[in-house]
Structure 1
């Protein structure tokens, strides 16, 4: 079977896509042993290292499995959904409930661990949020999320930071829609400033209980609005 030579770059991505197509189309059924690396490399017009990386990506997607001494076998014809895909497809209210659990804990840790540099960044983020009150809904939401991101970063836990980063695209879309649909900024262009100021103050004082409580109340109010849509 000839798969057709690939363009020079990006080779790994192209090789992965071509092999995935062979599997998801049913040309290589579940249980099929794939050709060896040398054969695949020749068919695709790439090196064995490129094939190896492509097979590793397919294994990560749950499509193939390497069996020691036997080769690589197809174990599924549909890729497993990754975390990012699940988030994109999830209801914004479900994402927000998880956000509350994650971010309240992050705020409490931030109050305990924040450095002077963190406080400078926090206050700058709060100032940018206030400045964005004269801008568009998208600009305002972006500065709001950026402020929350600085609080999470001040917790100095890379796992929390990574999880929050995964949430951002879904949160951004949901919050922009919320602000627009409910016209939240018509009477108060800087909607939520008091709560965000109190949050920054609590982190600055090192009051973890107040930081968690303040953020929990803010997020609960937003979740209630989302549930009302």
Structure 2
């Protein structure tokens, strides 16, 4: 990934911003190792200490993860997401509980505020999700399912709720992957027709119930 040579003033801040942009724009994806320190020094035209300080700052914010003796990896797509991941930790129950709080209200708002164009997009994502589930395409299913839930929240037209949920993207994706059986057999399928139909019918109470029920099922499954 080509990075622009920095100016001499405010080098650390400039490097931080360029590394952040590389993650935000998808040049470096979640879980991938970023270029080594010498490679970044050569590409950016700055000193080793400048790169080291920038990486340390992004590591503290949760965007990057430094693995001693292995390299530096992308941990989240934004500082908000990194903070939420630290709060939730790796505990699946906590992730599902946070999802429930945000998604129930998101579905309620979506049933009231969604547009016809947004409803069409929800149906498209829902079809993609179901097709991937039917055909046992696990990675595609996880991606489509997470996208569907984000689209539901966006339909509520609450910018703050959407931003909070976007910060939860990695947690949502990880929880989808953790709760979906890789074989995606009929017994493991979780349907979202109820949520979609309630939003289409502009029924906020039913949409909230549908959003809560499937997450409650997943939470209950952790105890079985």
TM-score of the pair, normalised by structure 1: 0.60
1:146-157 maps to which residues of 2 (within 5 A)? 146-157=147-158
Write the deviation string for residues 167-189 of structure 1: whole angstroms up to 9, x where unpaired. Answer: 12122223313323xx6722347
1:1-229 maps to which residues of 2 (within 5 A)? 8=6, 11-13=11-13, 83-87=83-87, 89-133=89-133, 134-180=135-181, 185-188=184-187, 191-193=189-191, 196-228=192-224
Q: 1:92 to 1:13 in 2, by over 3 A?
A: farther
C-alpha RMSD of the superposition = 3.3
- The whole-number CA distance in structure 2 between the counterparts of 1:188 and 1:152 is 27
SS in 1 for 2:184: coil
- The whole-number CA distance in structure 2 between the counterparts of 1:85 and 1:176 is 16
C-alpha contact 2:6 2:15 (8 A) present in aligned 1 = no
- The whole-number CA distance in structure 1 between the counterparts of 2:203 and 2:187 is 28
Structure 2 residue runs of 5 or longer lacking an equivalent are 17-45, 62-81
Please report how far the alpha carbon of residue 13 of structure 1 lies from its aligned counterpart in structure 2 after TM superposition.
Answer: 4.9
C-alpha contact 1:87 1:170 (8 A) present in aligned 2 = no
C-alpha contact 1:87 1:167 (8 A) present in aligned 2 = no
Larger radius of gyration: 1
Please report how far the alpha carbon of residue 135 of structure 1 lies from its aligned counterpart in structure 2 after TM superposition.
Answer: 3.8
Write the deviation string for residues 16-38 of structure 1: whole angstroms up to 9, x where unpaired. Answer: 7xxxxxxxxxxxxxxxxxxxxxx
| Partner of residue 29, structure 1 | none
| Partner of residue 76, structure 1 | none
- The whole-number CA distance in structure 1 between the counterparts of 2:15 and 2:115 is 46
C-alpha contact 2:110 2:156 (8 A) present in aligned 1 = yes
- The whole-number CA distance in structure 1 between the counterparts of 2:15 and 2:196 is 48
Structure 1 residue runs of 5 or longer lacking an equivalent are 1-6, 17-44, 62-81
Please report how far the alpha carbon of residue 225 of structure 1 lies from its aligned counterpart in structure 2 after TM superposition.
Answer: 2.1
